[in-house]
Chains A and B, each alone.
Chain A
Amino acid sequence: MAKKPKFKAENAAAKKTRAPGEEGIKAFLNAEQLHKLSRLLLQSRYVVEGNLAGAHRSPLKGASSEFADHKAYGVGDDPKHIDWKVFGRTDRYYIKRYEDETNLRVYLILDRSNSMAYGSAGVRKYDFACQLAAALGYVTVKARDSVGLFLYSDKLDMQIEPRNSLNHLHNTLKRLQDVETASTTKTADTLHQIAESIHKRALVVLISDLLDDEREIIQALAHFRKHMHDVIVLHVLDPVEIDLSLKQGFEFEDMETGEKLTVDPRGIAREYQQELDKFLEYYRISCEAMKVDYRLVKSDQPVDTYVRAYLEERRRLR
């Protein structure tokens, strides 16, 4: 295993992005951002299973006012649900069934590998990802849905079960606040592990730079889809990582493996972009095929603005 490089400078810079002296959600989002986010709603595109009655469709038929279908009357059915109009037309007993509505379980899966520590404009991808997780968690909880958190690197580092209270979110973020980037990435293995641990259909949000074997990650995402989860992939990348817009030659050092390479980025930018484009294209096409909501998120934008834009679009496309 490669020696872990330490990047104190980047970490110190990242800490400045968090509100000093604040804890929990306030450490990641200020009052104005919270106000903006409070009106938004994260909805699943597919039916989900929750413990509580909520605003989301459930695979179960329940007591909501929305008609679902008819079912032949059988032993044990409540006679009060018999549709007498259908009986009048067909001389058969049918029971009228209604859509059940449940609350949403949102699982935030956050990558804390060392590659997430990179940031070109003073904002590390990891900090941005944490803010993003906080924002989505807040939106979820405000909608009385449950939010849980998985934090991973080369293994699953932290697991917090979903709850729908602000206190739970506060405590979750408080724990996240104390965790820094570390280690290498084993995203696929971790995702498989998480997929196996979620039994009910839920909304899974993966926040990562996905700098790992893309085929294995796609397979892991397929694992989620196999379990009928609604999956959102927020692919967080720094603008410099996308464009390689550096103005001089450097000795690049891999933040996870420590491998060094001296090149002039101005000379290889074209080939670099082509390779990265292929990488991103693979994710985009694969996710589209699996009906996974894939988003490329640049870490140089305000979190609240991005979340607002994303949720608005998601609402329209639902």
Chain B
Amino acid sequence: MISFLNPVFLWALAALSIPLILHFIQSSRTERLPFSTVRFLKIASKRSSRRIKMENFLLMLLRFLLLALLALAFAMPIVRTKKFGNLLSGTARDVAIVIDGSYSMNYEVTQQVVWNQAVELATTIIEGLGDNDKFCVYLAGDQVTAVYEQMTDKKEEAVARLKALSRPPCSSRLAPAVMAALDAFERDSRRGERELHVISDFQALPWESFRAGAAELDGAASGSARSGAQAMMWDPAEVSDNTTCFVTLLGAPEPENTAVTDIELKPPLITAGMPCQITARVLRSGQEAETAVSLVVDDAEVVRRSVTPGEGGTDQIQFVLPALNGGVHAAKIETAQDSLKDDDVFYFLIRVREHLPVLCVGDQGGTVFLKTALDANGGSGAAINAGLITPEELSDEKLRGCSCVFLCNSVDLSGQQIKLVEKFVAAGGLLVVMPGDRSAVEDYALWSILPAEPTAVVELPVARRKRLLTWDKPQHPVLWEIAEKGINPSLVVKRQLRFEEIGENSETIISIGAGEPFLVAREHGRGAVLLCAVAADRTWSDFPLSPYFLPLMHQLCQYAASIGAGHPYLWADASISLAEHLPEAGRDSEIVSPEGKPVVIRTSVAESGEVLTYAEGVWTPGHYTLRNPGDTAAQNALAVNMPRRESELTALKAQDIPEILGIAALHVAVGRDDLLKKIEDFRIGRSLGETLLWLALLVAVAEVFYSNSLLRKNRRLTDKLKVAPSGRVKEKQV
């Protein structure tokens, strides 16, 4: 039961050879001294040889003992037995505490939240430290938060700070926090013994970070206490020999949880009076159990369903949402309350528009079929509001509010107009380009966002005009309705654009004839661009007269609505880009959190000069409202949910932790009492370093006294004889 805090000093035991070496050196360097007679020396030497050997042996023993004690004292041996623990004084130690800050720590067991137990346990550890001990505290989340970065001995302040600790609803990675704690040891530790305490729940996810790659950990540690981040990998070899790790698992060993992890709206953009379908993905941890799931829209429960996800699996549940009025509706899906309440509600927004705004650019003749098709009810139920403008009238103002723009025979726009359209696409709009006689092939070269560059306008002979269309991407949202209806794709084409090759990021959705691209798509920014090979009027083909022209145009509008609709919910984060998720918000806007507190809006200027706006500290799950200057009432703007990574409560077994950490000096405790017992068992071991130093001092004093006594023990014969100045020997004193 002996271990050494500084085993490197055991090499100093080699110093035991010093007395022997000195003895031999001294023996070989004996000086010659002429003396009157060696008669008495011989007799004395013979008589005292045994005594001298004994004295020299004792002296050498003392010196060996002294050097051995010094070497062992600096090696700081620890004897972990109760006898020594009770006999000797305590050892000063440095303690680092890492607390799992993930929201799975909010799990309730027998009316007690695991997080509170963790804080109480950390408090107990701190309060149990001695006056000479120091400690630091780290909170493990997605990023490492240093509660006490430097070693401190302010116990009362630390306890108060721990109890008032707030933490974001996030998952956690323990490895960066543990490494930050080890860094604190290396940076500040002055004591021989170190204890690293990791307090977590039975959740396996935080421990995966110990097996994660360098890049992942590096990302987690950026901006944390572990600054100057370099590629960090968990390496047990970096843990010093005098560091003992205590891992405490709190809460339920086999936790159960049900949570909605994702939802999907179909169609993504809903128009007024149009029903939609909501699909919720329900995750179950633990044993199979039936759970009630209810959909609440605008604080009114719309529907309640029962679902039974399998053990450790997911299930999908679908709700049909009745027609809603225009506007942004706050919706949530609630599961029955379980032990982890934080993920029992899933928030999202349902944006319902009165109509779908579409802009057709071209002349009256070229767009007549398109305009007619869009104004008609195409069977999708969408209320499309199609506007028509000439190419000259195209401006930023006209584009605002539109989700889809059709360029019919109008490619030859000015450079400024092309830039406007490109910006519109990047912001989430859909651009559909349809050729015409007015547009020359060279005009397409001015565009940089087209999915393909036409090389020629081809006139087809009469014999080859009837051509078949092929749905190359039937799963593409544009073809959802058409492909399912099984319309026979045939077309009479007189003239068409020819593409030598399509762009790198482009795809052919519909091809014509022997694989020639007919409708090519490319994503640009948040939006997309589609290029058709034929015109929107009858001059190039009978495409506008075909039965699938109308549904295809309507589907395009739906597609445009979906890509520009935005996501129905966001994950809680430290900052959210308003330009991306809430474009209507500006610097002067007021965003209010579900708790009724205003959200801080921060702006920054990008290198391109663009002003970027962010909402800071969007951590609270729920619906956020927005009020712009001049608005009379606030409207629902954001639905924020905490990340659902921690909702999957994969149970961790205590016996797996040694393999995960790879540390030899590891104690795994289950629960508070188990940890306190392990700490007590561990701390009864006291460092003998100080005691050995005292012993060495005593031996040194004994050695000095003994060697001096050997030298001084003889009274001089002159003194014994009491020789008078006249040379008379007065008397003999024995």
Instruction: Name A residues whose Cβ lies closer than 8 Å to a Cβ of B.
Output: 5, 7, 10, 115-118, 125, 209, 211, 234-235, 238-239, 241-246, 248-257, 259-277, 279-281, 284, 294-298, 301, 305-306, 309-310, 312-314
Contacts and interface: CB of A to CB of B under 8 A. Distances in A.
Most central of B42, B716, B726 by chain A CB within 10 Å: B726
B45 A268 contact: yes
A298 B48 contact: no
Contacts of B728: 295-296, 313
B717 A271 contact: no
A250 B714 contact: no
Contact of B727 (A117, A238, A254, A296): A296
Q: How large is the interface on B (under 10, 10 to 19, 20 to 34, 35 or more residues)?
A: 35 or more
A306 B725 CA distance: 6
Contacts of A279: 40
Given A267-B55, A298-B723, A251 B37 contact: no
A296 B26 CA distance: 36
Interface in B71-98: none
Contact of B48 (A115, A245, A262, A267): A267
Given A254-B38, A268-B52, A275-B44, 15 more contacts: A115-B37, A209-B36, A242-B721, A243-B717, A250-B30, A251-B32, A252-B35, A255-B35, A259-B38, A261-B42, A270-B44, A296-B723, A298-B718, A309-B727, A312-B726
Nearest to A266: B711
A125 B725 CA distance: 17
A183 to B, nearest CB: 14
A262 B694 CA distance: 38
A262 B55 CA distance: 18
Contacts of A273: 714, 716-717, 720
Contact of B44 (A246, A268, A281): A268
Nearest to A301: B725
Most central of B30, B44, B724 by chain A CB within 10 Å: B44
A277 B732 contact: yes
B27 to A, nearest CB: 8
A280 B30 contact: no
B574 interface: no
Most central of A115, A250, A252, A270 by chain B CB within 10 Å: A252
Contacts of A301: 725
Contacts of A275: 40, 43-44
A309 B717 contact: no
B732 A253 contact: no
Contacts of B39: 211, 254
B726 A280 contact: no
Contacts of B44: 263, 268-272, 274-275
Nearest to B35: A252
A161 B31 CA distance: 44
A254 B39 CA distance: 8
Interface string B459-483: 0000000000000000000000000
B166 to A, nearest CB: 76
A253 B34 contact: yes
A252 B38 CA distance: 7
Given A243-B717, A281-B732, A251 B30 contact: yes
Interface string B705-731: 000001101101110110111111100
Contact of B729 (A116, A252, A267, A280): A280
21 contacts: A238-B36, A242-B721, A243-B718, A251-B30, A251-B31, A252-B33, A252-B35, A253-B35, A255-B35, A255-B36, A256-B36, A262-B30, A263-B45, A267-B52, A270-B44, A272-B44, A273-B720, A279-B40, A310-B727, A312-B726, A313-B728
